[in-house]
Amino acid sequence: MTGAEAGAGAPAVRGKVLILVAAVVVLSLVAGAAVLHAGHRAAVKDRTQAGGPPVAAGPVTLGPAAAGRVVFRNMAYGPHRDELSSVPAATPGGKRTASGMRCLRFYAAGGTGICLQAVHGPLSDSYRAVVLDSALRERARYPLPGIPTRARVSPSGHLLAWTVFVGGDSYAGSDFSTRTGILDTRTGALDASLESYRAVRDGQPVHASDINYWGVTFADDRHFYATMGTGGRTYLVRGDIAARTVTTVRTNVECPSLSPDGTRIAFKKRVPGLPADAPWRLYVLDLRTGRERALAEPRSVDDQVVWPDDHTVVYAMPSDYGSDLYTLPADGTGAPRRLMTAALAPAYLR
Amino acid sequence: MYVADSRGTPPASAAPARIRSGRRAAVAPTVLALGSVSLVTDISSEMVTAVLPLYLVTGLGLSPLGFGLLDGVYNGFSALVRLVGGHLADRGGRYKAVAVFGYGLSALCKPLLLLVGSLPLIGAVLAADRTGKGLRTAPRDAMISLACEPATRGRAFGVHRAMDTAGALLGPLAAFLILRFAVDGYDAVFTVSFCVAIVGVLVLVLFVPGRTLGARGGGTAKATASGAGALASPTPAPPAPADAVSLRAALRLLRRRDVRRLTVCALLLGLATVSDSFVYLLLQHRLGVSDRWFALLPLGTAAAFLLLAVPLGRLADRIGRWQVFLGGHLALLAAYGVILSSWHSVALPYVVLALHGCFYAATDGVLMAAAFALRPATIAPQAAGGDAR
């Protein structure tokens, strides 16, 4: 291993330089090939694939006229990849109408949409949240401190919430945290981070530096549920925007999603004994009885589910296109069924 | 980004030894070679660091939450690995062998990232990568120290740290240029990072002499043969068998009053040093820096560090390392003072970041330069503390 002798003569140095130059040439070729290959692969995603879902450009709206449709991020390869698209909820396999608006994450309710998108800067990407009106026009935009992962809108369309990942920037760092913001579109009041709320656990205030919040779901324009993580555990918390407090409800609940009638919460739960890279199963918690029930999805799900109605949940699973949507009864019966290919972040308009 | 989080043995008032007459390059070729290794390796590792969160979330569709639980535990382990690296290198003066192993291990982790697709495995690969980094830090600093005249050590470390930081600034740039060309081309980033890392290992193997003379006196170490021109010296240096260093000998160091006293001083100063992110968060709160600019704050520190490393290293050689080391902490204190003061100006963030970078430039390499002045004849400072890459 200790190859180089101290103070080797000039001929030896020339040999070493030659070795280094040769190695740099070879490695440059390898590196260049890798970049070109990746570039080619990226180009493929811009071409429509045979057998993919049909997509065509057209108007997409979020207002009452669009009730009964589902708006989502289209992930099918082709010119409309990553655009907000819409299909009738009754025929999810039908022709998709693509809006031209690109989003990484999306949600809509009450005629208001939230679109979390990437902004390609000269040196790096940044992210922003864009508030959309019912015609998908931009009402406001807010810079985001990290990579978008969750977005929700209150049923009235007045409140928005988002969660982003803020990555550690230390060498080989793995210290990730989340920031969850809540925005009132009526006043423009923005809580950039729920960490400014008072957290209460078992009647006691929680003071911990490692508190993270993610996955807000709104009950109304004042109350919400979310996940609080601290000390290696996760809690379902109920939040009160007026009082600026969050109160723990129970443990081991992530990415809650409130049913339209407000009686149940679908969530992902870490089940002991599962592999560390696929630790979650879908559950539904009945808020009246406090009983939780496992859903009939044998795979690990990492998504905040949506409720198309009071009896069904829809969620994303990784796939060839990036993500497919699956559906399942919310009472624990049945079996998962693929609803749409190449789709993510659906919002059912009511 | 660059975070120096551990501190080694503090310096004595290192009176620079008289410089031997003879050939003296401005900076020893070995130092430049090691600086190149660090520069190239930093480009490689920062490429990965910059895109990793994005890769986990968008490339793999994972939730990296709870991933950070490893971190605290691992940082403790990292300090231990650094001690082990220093100890292994000291035994028989195998600095180069340990450094090659450390750099090589980190290089091999890059292609592994292509093969693993789950958080626990990625965590394991990152842990191995950091282990390599921990192992190589002390022997690399020992080699820098042994390669130059004691009186110019501060400048040598300054040059090395400046090159190192330049790599840290170039890495993210390279990564995002690749992603700009190839959307979602994370595999390309990792492959290029691997190729770059291999170049670093090759430069180390080819151009850094092995078996430097390990046994040197304390503050008045003579320059090693290798230091007088690794690439051009016509006579090979005979490898001097250094005495095996036992852990007990290392611990005995702590019985020496000067070492003990200064360790306590450094610990106290270390306690006063709040983590980097705290400085940036304070700045953000104070200025209402938007999140978009927040990510650029560490770059300001790095730029100041890059510019000041060499001049402050030379200053340390001239007026004494202990003084500069202390001055660095005063700069940090001044930075906090500026943040917490009521001073309003557009220049405020620049001043704070310049002071913050000055703190690194005056402490990181300078501490290493000084630590070597304290060691007994048979021991290079184990696990020298700077966290440069």
If you write DSSP's letter for every residue of A87-155 in order, what string do you get? EETT-TTSPEEEEEEE-SEEEEETTEEEEEEEEE-SSSEEEEEEEE-TTS-EEEEEEESSEEEEEEE-T
Q: Higher-confidence residue: B303 or B76? A: B303
State whether residue A3 sits within 8 Å of chain B by CB: yes
Q: What are the chain A neighbours of B196 within 8 Å (beta carbons)?
A: 27, 31
Mean pLDDT for A26-42 is 95
How would residue A49 be classed by pLDDT, with cut points 50, 70 and 90? confident
**Inter-residue contact A203 to A210 (CB < 8 Å):** no
- CB contacts, 8 Å: A147 with chain B: 53-54, 57-58
Q: How many Å separate Cα B366 from the centre of its chain?
A: 11
Nearest CA to B353 out of B343, B363, B361 is that of: B361
**Cβ within 8 Å of A, B 40-69:** 45-46, 48-50, 52-54, 57-58, 61-69
* A239 pLDDT above the threshold of 80: yes
8 Å CB contact between B65 and A229: yes
Residues A298 and A324: their CA atoms lie apart, in Å, by 16
Buried b (16+ CB within 10 A) or exposed e, B183-220: ebbbbbbbbbbbbbbbbbbbbbbbbbbbbbbbebebbe
Res. B220: pLDDT tops 50: no
Q: Return the higher-pLDDT residue of A106 and B320.
A: A106
Interface contact A27, partner B, CB < 8 A: yes
Query: Is A20 close to B202, i.e. CB distance below 8 A?
Result: yes
Residue A204 φ/ψ, nearest 5 degrees: -105, 140
Phi, psi of A208 (to 5 degrees): -140, 145
Does B96 sit within 8 Å of A38, measured CB to CB? no
Confirm if A317 and A305 have CB atoms less than 8 A apart. Answer: no
Q: Work out whether strand A245-251 and strand A198-201 pair parallel, antiparallel, or are unpaired.
A: parallel
The answer to whether B144 contacts chain A (CB < 8 Å) is no
Inform me whether the C-beta atom of residue A102 falls under 8 Å from chain B C-beta atoms: no
pLDDT in tens, A329-347: 999 999 999 999 999 999 9
Q: Which of A6, A21, A1 is nearest to B207 (CA)?
A: A6
Indicate yes or no: CB of A6 within 8 angstroms of CB of B230. Answer: yes
Cα distances (Å, whole numbers) of residue A198 to A26, A218, A319, B63: 58, 18, 40, 25
Dihedral Cα B223, B226, B227, B230, nearest 10 deg: 160
In angstroms, what CA-CA distances link A318 with A322, A328, B60, B182, B284?
6, 16, 9, 21, 37
A41 touches chain B (CB under 8 A): yes
The per-residue b/e assignment along A108-134, b for 16 or more CB within 10 angstroms, e otherwise, is bbbbbbbbbbbeeeeebebbbbbbbbb
Q: In this complex, is the C-beta atom of B70 within 8 Å of any C-beta atom belonging to chain A?
A: yes
Nearest to A287 by CA among A333, A336, A253: A253
Shortest CA gap B338–chain A (Å): 25
Span B346-373, average pLDDT: 87
To the nearest whole Å, the CA of A187 is away from the closest chain B CA by: 20
Distance CA A342, CA A323 (A): 5
* Cβ-contact A265, A284 below 8 angstroms: yes
Q: What pLDDT digit, counting tens, does each position of B252-276 carry? A: 776 676 667 667 766 666 665 556 7
Rounded to the nearest angstrom, the gap between the alpha carbon of residue A338 and the centroid of all alpha carbons in its chain is: 19
Give CA separation, A222 vs A198, A217, A276, in Å: 15, 11, 36
Q: Do B65 and A178 touch (CB under 8 A)?
A: yes
Q: What are the φ and ψ backbone dihedral angles of B326, each rounded to 5 degrees?
A: -65, -40
Contact B367, B10 (CB under 8 A): yes
Nearest CA in chain B to A280: B63
Show contacts of A88-91: CB within 8 Å, 24+ apart.
A89/A308, A89/A348
B195 shares contact with chain A (CB less than 8 Å): yes
pLDDT at B361 over 50: yes
A38 Cβ under 8 Å from any chain B Cβ = yes
| Amino acid occupying residue A327 | T
What's the token pair of residue B343?
């001073």
Structure tokens at A79: 């010119």
DSSP type of residue A349: -
Best A170, A228, A302 member to test B by mutation, with max B CBs in 10 Å, is: A170
Tens-digit pLDDT profile for residues B57-90: 777 766 655 444 344 445 556 677 888 888 888 8
Question: How wide is the angle at C-alpha B330 spanned by C-alphas B327 and B332, nearest 5°?
Answer: 115
Chain B touched by A187 (CB under 8 Å): no
pLDDT at A317 over 90: yes
Q: Does any CB of chain A come closer than 8 Å to the CB of residue B308?
A: no
Residue with tokens 């694939």: A49
pLDDT of B272: 57
Summarised one tens digit per residue, pLDDT across range B318-337 is 998 888 988 998 999 899 88
Per-residue pLDDT averaged across A247-252, rounded? Answer: 96
Q: Which of A39, A144, A212 sits opposite B291 (nearest CB)?
A: A144
DSSP string, B162-218: HHHHHHHHHHHHHHHHHHHHSTT-HHHHHHHHHHHHHHHHHHHHHHS-SS------S
Asked whether the beta carbons of B328 and B357 are under 8 A apart, the reply is no
Closest CA of chain B from A307, distance in Å: 22
A342 backbone φψ class: left, alpha, beta (φ>0; ψ -120 to 50): left
How many CB pairs below 8 Å do chains A and B form together? 214
Comparing CA positions, the residue from B145, B139, B138 lying closest to residue B14 is: B145
Q: Phi, psi at residue B166, to the nearest 5°? A: -60, -40
Q: A145 CB near a chain B CB, below 8 Å?
A: yes
Q: Is the pLDDT of residue B4 over 50?
A: no
Q: How confident is the model at residue A254 (pLDDT cuts 50, 70, 90)?
A: very high
* Predicted local confidence at residue B51, as pLDDT: 84
Nearest-angstrom CA–CA distance, B310 and B337: 26
Cα pseudo-dihedral B77, A1, B142, A13, rounded to 10: -140
For residue A42, the chain B residues in CB contact (below 8 A) are 182-185
| C-beta of residue B382 within 8 angstroms of C-beta of residue B368 | no
Q: Which of A13, A24, A176, A270 to mutate to test the interface with B (most CBs of B within 10 A)?
A: A176
Q: Which of B68, B176, B203 sits opposite A176 (nearest CB)?
A: B68
Q: In terms of CA atoms, which chain B residue is nearest residue A36?
A: B182
Tokens standing for residue B315: 């200053």
Determine the pLDDT at residue A172. 47
pLDDT at A16 over 80: yes
pLDDT band at B240 (very low <50, low <70, confident <90, very high): very low
Whether B123 and chain A come into contact, CB under 8 Å, resolves to yes
Q: Mean pLDDT lowest for which of A168-172, A266-270, B83-87, B328-332?
A: A168-172
What CA–CA distance (Å, rounded) separates A336 from A315?
A: 10
If contacts are CB pairs under 8 Å, which of residues 271-290 in chain A contact chain B? 275-278
Name every chain A residue with its beta carbon within 8 A of the beta carbon of B117: 277
φ, ψ dihedrals at A92, nearest 5°: -65, -20
Say which amino acid occupies B82: R
